[in-house]
C-alpha cells in the first residue's frame, strides 16, 4: 500500500466540515478489520484509510497545520500501513476494572510476542511487536502494542486461493484462538496483500 503524503490529507477547515461523514465511513471500514481474540484482547488491523483517519484526528486534536508538524505525524503513522506482504495491527489488552487491569498486565508480560496468524497448511506466523519502542517493563506489559505479521509468498498465494485463516494468542496465562477467522475479516485482510 502506498504511504500517506501531505496532499492526501484534508485541511483542518475541510476536515471540520467532512469529519462526520468521513468518520462514519472509517468506522464502517474498521468493523471488518477488528478481531476479538478471547475476552480481553482485540486486534485492529490497520491500513491506509485507518491511518489517514488517525493522522487527521491527531492534526485536529493538536491543531497542527504547519508542514513540519504534518510531516511528523505522517512519519509516526505511515509505518503502520501494511507493505503488501504483511498485516499490521494495534493490539489492545482490555480489562475494564483498573485494579484488575494492573494485576493482569503484570501477569501478561510477553503476550504481544505470542500473538499469531496461521494460514491453513502453513506454519504459524508470530507477531513482530513494538518495532517503534519498547512497551513493557520487567513489572508489566502495556495495554497497547503494535504488531506486524510477515507472510511468505506461499502463504499469500494460499490465502488468495481460498485457504482459511486462524489467529490466536498462546501466552501461558492467556490462550485463545479463532479458527477460522470470520470471512468478512479474512476478505478485508486480503486487500492488504499484493
CATH of span 33-46+82-194 = 2.60.40
Task: Tell me what pLDDT residue 156 has.
Answer: 97
- Please give the DSSP secondary-structure letter assigned to residue 11: P
- Residue ranges of the domains in the chain? 1-31+48-81, 33-46+82-194
Task: Tell me what pLDDT residue 194 has.
Answer: 87
Mean pLDDT on 177-191: 96
For the chain, what percent of residues have pLDDT higher than 70? 97
pLDDT tens for each residue of 120-139: 999 999 999 987 766 767 78
pLDDT tens for each residue of 7-22: 999 999 999 999 999 9
CA 170, 40, 48, 147: dihedral to nearest 10 degrees? -30
Task: Tell me what pLDDT residue 133 has.
Answer: 65
Record the cell numbers describing residue 142, joined without a space: 502495556
Q: What is the mean pLDDT of the chain?
A: 94
d(CA 178, CA 92): 17
Helix (H, G, I), strand (E, B) or coil at 12: helix
The Cα-based distances of 169 to 40, 54, 77, 141 in angstroms read 11, 26, 25, 15
The Cα-based distances of 151 to 90, 154, 161, 187 in angstroms read 17, 8, 15, 16
Amino acid at each position: 500500500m502506498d504511504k500517506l503524503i501531505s496532499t492526501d490529507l484534508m485541511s483542518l477547515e475541510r476536515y471540520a466540515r467532512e469529519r462526520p461523514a468521513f468518520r462514519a465511513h472509517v468506522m464502517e471500514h474498521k468493523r471488518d478489520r477488528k478481531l476479538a481474540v478471547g475476552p480481553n484482547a482485540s486486534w485492529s488491523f490497520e491500513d491506509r484509510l485507518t491511518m489517514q483517519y488517525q493522522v487527521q484526528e491527531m492534526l485536529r486534536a493538536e491543531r497542527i497545520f504547519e508542514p513540519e508538524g504534518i510531516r511528523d505525524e505522517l512519519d509516526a503513522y505511515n509505518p503502520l500501513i501494511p507493505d503488501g506482504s504483511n498485516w499490521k495491527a494495534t493490539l489492545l489488552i482490555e480489562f475494564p476494572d483498573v485494579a484488575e487491569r494492573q494485576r493482569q498486565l503484570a501477569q501478561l508480560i510477553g503476550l504481544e510476542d505470542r500473538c499469531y496468524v496461521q494460514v491453513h497448511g502453513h506454519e504459524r506466523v508470530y507477531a513482530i511487536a513494538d518495532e517503534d519502542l519498547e512497551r513493557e517493563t520487567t513489572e508489566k506489559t502495556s495495554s497497547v502494542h503494535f504488531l506486524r505479521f510477515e507472510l511468505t509468498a506461499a502463504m499469500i498465494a494460499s490465502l488468495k486461493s481460498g485457504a482459511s485463516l486462524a489467529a490466536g494468542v498462546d501466552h501461558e496465562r492467556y490462550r485463545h484462538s479463532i479458527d477460522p477467522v470470520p470471512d468478512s475479516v479474512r476478505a478485508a485482510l486480503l486487500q492488504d496483500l499484493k
